Amino acid sequence: MDPYTTPLPQYEPQVDETTKQLFKHSSAKRVSTDSVIAQALKKQYPNLELVIAPSGGADLLSYALSGHATFSPIDQDAGAGLPSSVVWKSYAPPARRIDGNPGSLVLNVEFAKYLYKWNGHEFIVYLVDGRDGTAYYPNIRNNYILTTDSKKADALIMAAGKWGNELHNEIWTKSAELYQSVMNASWDVILDSKMKKTIIDDHESFFNSRSTFDRLKVPWKRGIIYYEPPGNGKTISIKATMHMLYKRKDPVPSLYVRSFFSFMGPEYAISSIFLKARQLAPCYLIFEDLDSIVTDAVRSYFLNEVDGLKSNDGIFMIGSTNHLDRLDPGISKRPSRFDRKYLFPDPDMDQRIAYCKFWQSKLARNEEIEFPDKLCKAIAEITHSFSFAYIQEAFVAALLAIARGGGDDESDDATGDDEGWVGVGFSSSGEDDEIKTNVLWIEIQKQVAILREGMEEEKVKGSTT
C-alpha cells in the first residue's frame, strides 16, 4: 500500500445494495433517480460522506486518464445476479483514414463503481446515468463520491473541473487535428513585410497591454477583419498567430468557430461560444468565413453578444471573409466591433517570385524536375493577378501531368512554341532559351493558360448575375 495514501475503510458487502436498488428502480419509468441512488449509498456507507458532482462539470475519468489521478473498477458480488457495471462500447472512425489509423473504441459508462486515488486520498466513486422518464435526451451522469472528508472531495471536483475547462493540445471546437495544423504553422508567410509586422504587433500589444486599457478606462477588447480575395494567406496567417500566442510565456488559448450550428438553435450556439470565450479570457476568438456564419437570421444574436451587457474584456476577435461586401455594415463598418480591416491582396511580382522559390526548395531533391533560378521569375511573370492558391494549383497540376507522362508528350512542341502555350509574357530568344525546353516550364504555361481561361469565364459569369 502507498504510505502516502489515506485508505478508506474496507467495505465488502455480500450484496451491493446500491446496485440492487438502481436496477430495481430502472425496471420501470424512472423518477427521482438521483434521490434513490443517494439514499441507497447513505444506507450502504453510513460512515462515509457523500458528495454528488455532475460529470459534465467534473469529468473524473478523463481527469484520471490524463495522468492526474488513478482509478480501478471495484468488481464485487453485486448480488441477485446483477452486473457490477454497465459500459457500452462503440466504434469511433478515424478523422483521417489516409493516416492509417484504424479508429478506436469509445467507452460510454452507464453505471460503474471505482476506487479512485488522487493527491494522496482514496474515494469510492459511483458513476451513474441519472436520467428520469422515458423520453430521449442527452444522458445526465453524476459522480457519487464517497469519502471520509467532504472537503477532499470538493478539492477534487475543483481540480477536475478546472482541468476540464482548459484546452489540452486542442483548439476549441476541441479539434486535435486543427491543433496539429496550428502547431506546424509559423510566421514564415509570404506577405507584405510591413503588414506582417503590423499584424504581429497588433496582437502582441493587445495581450501585453491590459494595464494600459485599465488605466485609460476603456474596454480591453479588440476586433479585426481579414478580407478578400480567397487564397492569399488569411487562414495561414490566423494559424501562425494562434501558434505565436500559444507559445507565449503566458499562453493565450484560441477558439476557432466555423459555424453556429447547434441542436439547441443558433442563439444557444452563439451564447455558448461567447460564454466559453469569457471563461478562457484572455483568449483569441476566430470566426472563419464571417459572412457565411453571421447571416440575417443570427445577426442580432451575434451583435448582442459582441455589444452585450456582459464584459468581453480580454477577447481578441478576428473574422475572415472573401466577400466583405456581403457583411452587414453593422459588423464591417462599426469600429467598436471590428476596429480594423486588413486586405490580403493578390501577390505582387516579388511575392510571386518568393512563392516560386518556395516550390523550388520543395522540389530540390526531385531528380526528375529541373528548377533553375531563372524559372522562378519566368513563372512569376506569367502568373500576374493570380492568388497564391491559383499559383499552387498551377504547380500541382503541372507536376501531376509530368508524373503521368504529360511532360514527355511528343505531340507537344519540345521548344514550347506550340500555339496556345507560348506568348504568355516571355520571350523565346536570348538567355530565355535556357528554360525553353524545361519540362516544368512547358507544363506550367499550359496550366496557367487553363486557369486564366477559367478566371475569365468566372468574371463574365459574375458580371451577368
- Sketch the domain layout of the chain as residue ranges: 17-165, 176-343, 349-463
Residue reference for cell 428502480:
25
- Per-residue pLDDT of 383-392, as tens digits, reads 999 999 999 9
Q: What angle do CA 159, 56, 143 make, to 5 degrees?
A: 75
- In whole angstroms, what is the distance from residue 203 CA to residue 2 CA? 49
For the ranges 19-33, 168-182, 211-225, 380-394, the lowest mean pLDDT is seen at: 168-182
Residue 328 has pLDDT above 60, yes or no: yes
Average pLDDT over residues 262-276: 83
DSSP 15-29: S-HHHHHHHHHTTS-
Residue 292 has pLDDT above 50, yes or no: yes
Query: pLDDT band at 226, cuts 50/70/90?
Result: very high
pLDDT score, position 302: 93
Measured in whole angstroms, the distance separating CA 282 from the mean position of its chain's CA atoms is: 17
Under 8 Å between Cβ of 402 and 444:
no
Mean pLDDT of the chain: 83
- Is the model more confident about 21 or about 41? 41
Residue 88 has pLDDT above 90, yes or no: no
Residue 415 has pLDDT above 90, yes or no: no
Residue 426 has pLDDT above 50, yes or no: no
pLDDT score, position 172: 53
Cβ atoms within 10 Å, residue 337: 18
pLDDT score, position 57: 83
pLDDT score, position 176: 65
- Per-residue pLDDT of 243-260, as tens digits, reads 999 999 999 999 999 888
Residue 86 has pLDDT above 60, yes or no: yes
Burial of 445 (0-12, 13-18, 19+ CB in 10 A): buried
CA distances from 237 to 282, 319, 416 (A): 20, 12, 37
Residue 1 has pLDDT above 60, yes or no: no
Measured in whole angstroms, the distance separating CA 334 from the mean position of its chain's CA atoms is: 28
CATH class of 176-343: alpha beta
- Is the model more confident about 422 or about 456? 456
- In whole angstroms, what is the distance from residue 64 CA to residue 55 CA? 13
Per-residue cell: 329: 455594415
Per-residue cell: 368: 526528375
For the ranges 72-86, 229-243, 447-461, the lowest mean pLDDT is seen at: 72-86
- Per-residue pLDDT of 22-60, as tens digits, reads 777 766 666 678 888 899 899 999 999 999 998 888 889
pLDDT score, position 53: 93
Residue 431 has pLDDT above 70, yes or no: no
Residue 429 has pLDDT above 50, yes or no: no
Longest dimension (CA), the chain: 97
- In whole angstroms, what is the distance from residue 419 CA to residue 174 CA? 53
Q: Please indicate, yes or no, whether the overall pTM of this predicted structure exceeds 0.75.
A: no
Residue 346 has pLDDT above 90, yes or no: yes
DSSP 220-235: S-EEEEEESSTTSSHH
Residue 80 has pLDDT above 60, yes or no: no
Amino acid sitting at position 216: L
For the ranges 131-135, 246-250, 286-290, 375-379, the lowest mean pLDDT is seen at: 131-135
Per-residue cell: 75: 468488481
- Per-residue pLDDT of 113-148, as tens digits, reads 999 999 999 999 999 887 766 555 555 788 999 999
Q: Which H/E stretch holds residue 257?
A: strand 254-257
Average pLDDT over residues 412-417: 39
Average pLDDT over residues 388-402: 95
